[in-house]
């Protein structure tokens, strides 16, 4: 297991516990008297560290190298997963995976960003940053799913759409826009789950759902805190300090009405117990599918339209002509 800076106090205790356990097992002796107090200390330390996380710590958890990714979740909660490949135009972008599977009693289509577990896989998957063909693959599978009345589940975990020459050449902006347009008109339930990083347009491109859920330590932002700091404060290194005012962690998003539900993670984050996290995700998916499956295709489209139509905060000024000197904004 890899440790973030603020997780480091855990490392010593955990390695000690592990040593004792290995020793006890290999010698077949009972050391529970020694191990138990350590475990209690560990759990109080976990409490201490994880009950008051700063927004920046949550962003770091969302990016934790051991955090479960889409394929991990599928391994725990999906049966008969059949992965499908390619956008039929250019190539198969492995930063996004797509396919059909069964979750509970539901056949569903899966679309998900996929990061790599190691350097090789990360290069193959481009660190979960799709090119246009990734979004186009997603669109193709979603349209196919809608044709066969299959609900769509998307797993969002990407720093963003890839900013590169080829991505721009092939129309990154068009690929994202088209997905937003098409997803708004699919007559099947769509549930989107931000499992880690919800990075801007690259996240939204598979994020137009009837329900948008987020894991407790996920974040979802108009741009990464680094980019925001670079543009607004002209200093990338101030990402930590600006991340709070961006309102990007799960509780902020819930308060703003932008996500429908926060899916709890085990204490210490999803990576400390991927199976339990996956189980929570599965329960949420099934509950929302149960709710949505009573709606007709037209009702589903209308429900989704309304969900996004209502988003935005503004007011109508009294006068049309500008008397800005006296007008107070922000009231």
- Element housing 242 (H / E): helix 239-243
Considering beta carbons, is residue 82 or 322 the nearer one to other proteins?
322
Name the nearest CA neighbour of 256 among 214, 288, 225: 214
Distance CA 275, CA 280 (A): 9
Query: Which of residues 177, 240, 286, 295 is near other proteins by CB under 8 A?
Result: 177
Per CB under 8 A, 51 contacts other proteins: no
Options 71-79, 95-103, 175-183, 265-273: segment touching other proteins (CB under 8 A): 175-183
Please give the torsion angle defined by the CA atoms of residues 88, 90, 95 and 99, in that order, rounded to the nearest 10 degrees: 10
Of 284-323, binders to other proteins (CB under 8 A) are 304-305, 308-309, 311-320, 322
Considering beta carbons, is residue 224 or 277 the nearer one to other proteins?
224
Considering beta carbons, is residue 207 or 269 the nearer one to other proteins?
207
Distance in Å, CB of 207 to other proteins, minimum:
7
Options 44-52, 105-113, 222-230, 286-294: segment touching other proteins (CB under 8 A): 222-230
Considering beta carbons, is residue 125 or 271 the nearer one to other proteins?
125
CA separation, residue 220 to residues 63, 125, 246, 267 (Å): 12, 21, 10, 21
DSSP-derived pairing of the beta strands 261-263 and 190-199: unpaired
Distance CA 144, CA 154 (A): 15
Considering beta carbons, is residue 42 or 194 the nearer one to other proteins?
194
Instruction: Enter the tokens of residue 151.
Output: 């609900």
Query: Which of residues 110, 227, 281, 284 is near other proteins by CB under 8 A?
Result: 227
Query: Which of residues 154, 158, 172, 280 is near other proteins by CB under 8 A?
Result: 172
Query: Which of residues 68, 116, 207, 268 is near other proteins by CB under 8 A?
Result: 207
Cβ(129)–Cβ(161) below 8 Å: yes
Considering beta carbons, is residue 11 or 173 the nearer one to other proteins?
173
Considering beta carbons, is residue 61 or 253 the nearer one to other proteins?
253
Per CB under 8 A, 231 contacts other proteins: yes
Instruction: Enter the tokens of residue 191.
Output: 């549930």
Query: Which of residues 44, 185, 283, 293 is near other proteins by CB under 8 A?
Result: 185
DSSP-derived pairing of the beta strands 79-84 and 96-103: antiparallel
Radius of gyration of the chain (CA): 22
Per CB under 8 A, 178 contacts other proteins: yes
Considering beta carbons, is residue 91 or 178 the nearer one to other proteins?
178
Cβ(107)–Cβ(144) below 8 Å: no
Phi, psi of 184 (to 5 degrees): -70, -15
Query: Which of residues 48, 173, 290, 293 is near other proteins by CB under 8 A?
Result: 173
Distance CA 212, CA 261 (A): 7
Query: Which of residues 112, 134, 201, 274 is near other proteins by CB under 8 A?
Result: 201
| x/- letters, 248..287, toward other proteins (CB under 8 A) | x----x--x-x-----------------------------
CA separation, residue 74 to residues 71, 115, 129, 166, 239 (Å): 5, 14, 20, 31, 32
Distance CA 142, CA 187 (A): 10
Instruction: Give me the residues that bind other proteins (CB under 8 A), please.
Output: 161-165, 167-174, 176-178, 180-182, 184-185, 200-201, 204, 207-208, 220-223, 227-228, 231-232, 245-248, 253, 256, 258, 304-305, 308-309, 311-320, 322, 324, 327, 329-331
């Amino acid at each position: 297991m890899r440790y973030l800076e603020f997780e480091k106090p855990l490392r010593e205790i955990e390695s000690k516990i592990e040593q004792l356990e290995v020793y006890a097992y290999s010698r077949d002796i009972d050391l529970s008297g020694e191990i138990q107090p350590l475990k209690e200390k560990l759990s109080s330390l976990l409490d201490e560290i994880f009950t008051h996380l700063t927004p920046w710590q949550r962003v770091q958890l969302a990016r934790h190298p051991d955090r479960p990714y889409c394929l991990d979740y599928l391994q725990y909660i999906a049966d008969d997963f059949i992965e499908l490949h390619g956008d039929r135009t250019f190539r198969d972008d492995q930063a996004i995976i797509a396919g059909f599977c069964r979750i509970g009693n539901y056949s569903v289509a899966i679309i998900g960003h996929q990061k790599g577990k190691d350097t090789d896989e990360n290069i193959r998957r481009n660190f979960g940053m799709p090119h246009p063909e990734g979004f186009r693959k997603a669109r193709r599978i979603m349209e196919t799913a809608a044709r066969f009345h299959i609900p769509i589940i998307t797993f969002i975990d990407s720093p963003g759409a890839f900013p590169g020459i080829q991505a721009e050449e092939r129309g990154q902006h068009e690929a994202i826009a088209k997905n937003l347009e098409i997803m708004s008109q699919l007559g099947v339930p769509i549930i989107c789950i931000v499992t880690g990083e919800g990075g801007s347009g690259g996240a939204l491109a598979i994020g137009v759902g009837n329900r948008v859920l987020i894991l407790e330590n996920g974040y979802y932002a108009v741009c990464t805190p680094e980019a925001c700091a670079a543009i607004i404060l002209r200093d990338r290194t101030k990402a930590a300090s600006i991340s709070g005012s961006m309102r990007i962690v799960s509780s902020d998003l819930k308060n703003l009405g932008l996500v429908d539900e926060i899916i709890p993670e085990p204490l210490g984050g999803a990576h400390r117990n991927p199976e339990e996290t996956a189980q929570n995700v599965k329960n949420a998916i099934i509950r929302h599918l149960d709710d949505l499956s009573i709606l007709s295709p037209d009702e589903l489209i209308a429900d989704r339209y309304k969900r996004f139509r209502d988003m935005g905060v503004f007011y109508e000024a009294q006068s049309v002509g500008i008397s800005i000197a006296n007008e107070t904004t922000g009231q």
